[in-house]
Amino acid sequence: MLRLGRREFAAHEPVIMAIVNRTPDSFYDQGATFHDEPALARVERAVAEGAAVIDIGGVKAGPGDEVSAEEEARRTVGFVAEVRRRFPDVVISVDTWRHEVGEAVCEAGADLLNDAWGGVDPKLAEVAARYGVGLVCTHAGGAQPRTRPHRVTYDDVVADILRVTLGLAERAVALGVPRESVLIDPGHDFGKNTRHSLEATRRLGEMVETGWPVLVSLSNKDFVGETLDRPVKERVLGTLATTAVSAWLGARVYRVHEVEETRQVLDMVATIAGHRAPAVARRGLA
């Protein structure tokens, strides 16, 4: 059982996490949801299309202008409170590596802390434990926040992913984070080159076999772009193909920009796997 906020998700129930960036310089939407009203409209649309989790971020993942903890909190805390007010049943996640921001958004109603930088601030897990919220434990290859990988090497990238994410997950539980609310994430593109991210996808089943629910953040990332030689705005098909493979291998949570398209892919894979009935089955029966 996966439990996030007020929601419980069954073993074969895929979970869509919709990205809402409160940044003026996000790599994909270039700040389309930086201001409140477009961001709230994005939340409403994502929920209507099937997102169970809204992931709110206040700092661009890549290099750029410095964003202080105070500014990150300013971009996220009030918005978390408003989403909580308007959508009481949605799971609210906040993408942050800073414990100060984690504390503030938990006070505002967040249910999940998405630590995309692999525990670089160990106090963030302590915040999750203190508030009883969930935690995403990500492999970032030891990279510092907002840095790009440069000539990163691993003897075995998946072995390193398992070592790091399982260690972070067990530490979180030991601190008091509810076990059923801890996820592990291979961290595509974070501290990795394209071949590393492709291998992490190919061997995702090894993460699934650990028993921890696996989150994948694949949406329009560079490893998709480099694989197909496509710019950011032309990576949706590659993302959806990778999503289908990840779903077949057992990933549970999908952090995405395109909710409706992802929903269809996940429903199709679940139906092929025998976990979901077809929405309509008339062919050959009429």
Among all residues, which ones are annotated catalytic?
A: 221, 255
Residue type, 146: R
Identify the H or E element spanning 93: strand 91-95
> CA-CA distance, 250 to 14, in Å (whole number)?
9
Q: Does residue 110 contact residue 82 with C-beta atoms inside 8 Å?
A: no
Distance CA 174, CA 89 (A): 28
Cα R_g (the chain), whole angstroms: 18
- Which residues, other chains included, contact 195 with Cβ-Cβ below 8 Å and sequence gap of 6+? none
Please report, in angstroms and rounded to a whole number, the separation of the first and last CA atoms in the chain. 39
